[in-house]
Amino acid sequence: MWQFLRRRLPLLVESAQKYGDIVLFRIGNERIYLFNHPDLIRDVLVTNQKNFTKSRALVRAKRVLGEGLLTSEGQFHLRQRRLVQPAFHRDRIAAYAQSMVEYAARASSKWTDRARVDIHDEMMKLTLAIVGKTLFNTDVESEANEIGEALTTTFAAFNVGVLPFSEILERLPLPYMKRFNAARARLDATIYRIIEERRASGEDKGDLLSMLLLAQDSEGDGGQMTDTQLRDEAMTLFLAGHETTANALSWTWYLLSQHPQVEARFHAEVDALGDRLPGSEDLPALAYTRMVLTESMRLYPPAWAIGRRAINDFEANGYKIPARSMVLVCQYIAHRDQRFFSHPLRFDPERWKPEVAATRPKFSYFPFGGGTRICIGEQFAWMEGILALATIGRQWSFRYTGEDSPQVDPKITLRPLNGIPMNALRR
């Protein structure tokens, strides 16, 4: 338990290397199985997905997210997904491109040549502004620092929240719980302000929030979302819609700074667009930029593990996995498996040439999950990431200034532990 609390990711990596495709842990009264082969991962996320519910970690995440898309189950989850899905239709996502590019250009215009920046902090502010504008048509830039601090506090509670005795700790007046409750209240304040402003205006602005307010479940009971459901979905999409992309961008800038040849090819592709900001129509011409982002998310997947709880007994590789067991599949481990990625620690975007990528099993790479619960915002995230890289890369390159390589901080997402200090160099 102490190892799992203090060095969760190294423990999982070392265990996979030592014991192979199925590893059993016991923490308190929990049996936790780590699955490390694409076929086993596919069985959990796709083939036998009906035999699993969400993990303890996501059950505990309801303290912040409520019954949103990430945490809800069964028919309620299907109903909510139907209501939210239209906001992520391909045509609507393309309409978000202009805001993504404008905010990226605005963020980068504030830097000065050779200025020292924490690129993770900068990307968090950028993606927060983008999700506020595109999904909720509101400006949250002025609140970015407070929201960032609240998120950090919330995520810091994650390590304790997944332990077997966390429910008891949460009833005690401990300092970390007081900080967590204050942080949750701060996040709620922003979400409820956005909802209240929209209700007061009565406008249909064509964004996600308007769709949630007006949506009816035509395939189900025809009902609309209650205020609580509206808050939960807004909170889920508000947090998930910027936290993961910010991490992906942060690690990408770091990796580019360490690989000058890759960076030069990336800049050449961006420069080929000419002296203008990119748009959604340019995505086909940014194929190498997409490969760079893909490879970055291989090495540093923003969502680094997925947990499920088995409803019934099942068999995996000849082992009986008892009902109620926890099953973990770990993107961080799978993406670095040398059986499917030669020289797995090397940053090599060429791995993602279509003819090369097609030779690998599907679930050797799954940064957005899989099955019916695959991330609803996947295409939104791809477009945001590629356009943000292209927009900023037109004018800037970055050089890492830390003494050692940045360390990962595996909580709900894979953040850099103490940010990523860099010098911004005007091109």
Determine the Cα–Cα distance for residues 180 and 410; give it in Å rounded to an integer: 18
Residue 219 has pLDDT above 70, yes or no: no
CATH number of the domain encompassing residue 383: 1.10.630.10
- If DSSP codes are grouped into helix, strand and coil, which group holds residue 84? helix
pLDDT digits (tens, 9 = 90+) for 123-161: 999 999 998 888 888 888 788 788 888 877 877 666 665
SS (H, E, C) 286-332: HHHHHHHHHHHHHHCCCCCCEEEEECCCEEECCEEECCCCEEEECHH
pLDDT digits (tens, 9 = 90+) for 251-307: 999 999 999 999 999 999 999 999 999 999 999 999 999 999 999 999 999 999 999
CB 351 within 8 A of CB 341: yes
Which of these, 427, 286, 409, lies nearest to 418 by C-alpha position? Answer: 409
What value does the mean pLDDT take over residues 335-348?
97
Q: What is the mean pLDDT of the chain?
A: 88
pLDDT for position 190: 86
pLDDT digits (tens, 9 = 90+) for 42-53: 999 999 999 998
CB 271 within 8 A of CB 241: no
pLDDT for position 144: 78
Determine the Cα–Cα distance for residues 278 and 423; give it in Å rounded to an integer: 24
- If DSSP codes are grouped into helix, strand and coil, which group holds residue 33? strand
Q: Give the DSSP H/E element, type plus range, for residue 214.
A: helix 208-214
pLDDT for position 88: 82
Residue 393 has pLDDT above 60, yes or no: yes
Domain count for the chain: 1
Q: 103 is in which domain, residue-wise?
A: 2-426
Determine the Cα–Cα distance for residues 288 and 322; give it in Å rounded to an integer: 45
pTM: 0.91
What value does the mean pLDDT take over residues 226-251?
86
pLDDT for position 168: 65
CB 66 within 8 A of CB 54: no
